[in-house]
Amino acid sequence: MIYLDNAATTKMYEEAIEAYVDVCKNHFANPSALHSYGMDAENLIKETKKYIGKLISASESEIFFTKSATESNNIAIKSFDGLAITSKIEHSSVYNTFKNSHFDEVRYISNDNYGFIDEDDLKIKLDNKVTFVSFIYVNNEIGTIQDIKNLSKIIKGFNKDIVIHIDATQAMGKVSCDVEDLGVDMMSFSAHKFHGPKQLGGLYIRKNIQGKIKPILDGGYQEVFSSGTNNPPAIYACGIALKKQIESNEYTYIEELNHYLRKLIKENIKDSYIISPIENSSPYILDVAFANIKSEVLLHMLEEEEIYVSSGSACSKGQYSRVLSSLGIDKKYMDGAIRFSFSNEITKKDLDFTLKVLKDSIEMIRRVI
Ligand code: PLP
């Protein structure tokens, strides 16, 4: 199997699975319990918060666990009202949440053909009514790394009280997520994107704005803004996975894989268009469009050879991908985008084989249409 769908989810690290099982077996008490066995489980949560806090230049009391990055994004956005700023290239868990929020108005900042936020448009749209801004850090469809530090400077320079949230789901463990350096107040992440368990998200909330955050689930308020018995096995495994992802030193190797596949496609497949920028882009994600191809058909042809990718076009209800539509891509490419996303289990030999199957499949599709 050649698994090139790591932006959708990753395989859990062995160490994270072992940690998960160990906590299930040996530290299974309710972390809210007052007895020492419960405190034992609670300590694993504290230890993980401490590790993540240190990693992103925050304190343990600024890290909250949620069920997913989707929940984190909901908590962040639904806590505020007034006037918000965001973009059209957000993940649906941000984009759709704005539609269900209490904001009087949501302003969308335009982006260029590579998905970079237009700073001039941001400066024009910032005014005294703006209370909240949310931007995606690493784009999940095309990999663009937004210059958050610079955007924060512009926003805070205009009004330091504007709250900045970023969705760092595709960034955590892969690019620097130092909240002080980035200048953000809230940051969402998700364990299953860095080889941790699914349904375990996190939200960093800067201490001085915690009083403004509204709980998304009422109950025991175990994680203050979310309720329900905490999940020590998943939380502990999340910390172990993040540590291993950080220590993997795989970035350069992933970059090599990305550049290798780019080159293979460019040189061997006619009418292909590399959507992901080469600079300021996460090497983990490579989005490529093939003219006059239906990506779903291509995806299933690759699947027959046990190559798993994602359809970058994600055409739903007759509508093109919001992200691709914002990039001004030629219509002939709009249906044919495929997202390849890497892990360090992939080899160049895997990519040679992927290219061969890709080329044969595209030629076959083009012959019959
Ligand atoms: N934000 C981004 C950028 C994502 O890529 C994803 C997952 O696809 C999410 C949010 C949602 O993450 P979760 O699956 O933890 O809800």
Which of 86, 98, 140 is the pocket-test mutation for ligand 1 (most atoms within 8 Å of CB)? 140
Average pLDDT over residues 191-209: 98
The reply to whether 24 belongs to the active site is no
Ligand 1: residue whose CA is nearest its atom 16:
70
Q: Cβ(136) to ligand 1 under 6 A?
A: yes
Q: Which residue has a Cα nearest atom 6 of ligand 1?
A: 169
Report the atom number in ligand 1 closest to the C-alpha of 7.
5
Per-residue pLDDT, 172: 98
Q: Is 318's pLDDT higher than 70?
A: no
In Å, how far from its chain's centre is CA 346?
Answer: 20
196 lines ligand 1 (CB under 6 A): no
Q: For residue 3, which amino acid is it? A: Y
Answer yes or no: is pLDDT of 276 > 70: yes
The yes-or-no verdict on residue 206 having pLDDT over 90 is: yes
Backbone angles phi, psi at 188, to 5 degrees: -100, 145
Q: What is the pLDDT of residues 102-145, one digit of tens each?
A: 999 999 999 999 999 999 999 999 999 999 999 999 999 999 99
Closest atom, ligand 1, to C-alpha of 73? 10
Tell me whether 0.90 is exceeded by the ipTM.
yes
- 55-106 residue pLDDT tens: 999 999 999 999 999 999 999 999 999 999 999 999 999 999 999 899 999 9
Ligand 1 neighbourhood includes 201 CB (under 6 angstroms): yes
Check pocket membership of 190 for ligand 1, CB cut-off 6 A: yes
For 83, 117, 134, 183, 256, the CA distances from 123, given in Å and listed in that order, are: 15, 11, 15, 17, 36
Q: Is the Cβ atom of 170 under 6 angstroms away from ligand 1?
A: yes
pLDDT band per the 50, 70, 90 thresholds, residue 316:
low
* Predicted model pTM: 0.96
